[in-house]
């Protein structure tokens, strides 16, 4: 991901205060994920369809 790119990173509302969180941003045509403790470190980029598949597999059915 280009460093000059400014993204609007979001942290889950379910994150605790212990600092062990991931943040997600939605730049054009992908979903970017990073470690909230290492904001200048690498990111994982996923196509939106893969990210939605991941969320579906980890979200309890009662929360959908």
Q: What percent of the chain has pLDDT over 90?
A: 52
pTM: 0.75
Higher pLDDT among residues 2 and 30, named by residue: 30
Compute φ and ψ for 28, nearest 5 degrees: -55, 125
- pLDDT given for residue 64 in this prediction: 62
CB 44 within 8 A of CB 31: no
Average pLDDT over residues 34-48: 93
Work out how many domains the chain is built from and give that number. 1
**For all residues of the chain together, what is the average pLDDT?**
86
Residue 16 lies in a domain: yes
Residue 2 lies in a domain: no
Residue 1 lies in a domain: no
Higher pLDDT among residues 5 and 42, named by residue: 42
Q: How far is CA 1 from the centre of its chain?
A: 14
pLDDT score of 61 more than 90: no
Residue 24 lies in a domain: yes
Domain that holds residue 39: 10-58
């Amino acid at each position: 991901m280009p460093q000059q790119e400014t993204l609007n990173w979001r942290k889950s509302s379910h994150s605790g205060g212990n600092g062990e969180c991931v943040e997600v941003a939605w730049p054009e045509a992908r979903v970017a994920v990073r470690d909230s403790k290492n904001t200048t470190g690498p990111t994982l980029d996923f196509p939106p369809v893969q990210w939605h598949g991941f969320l579906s597999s980890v979200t309890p059915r009662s929360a959908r």
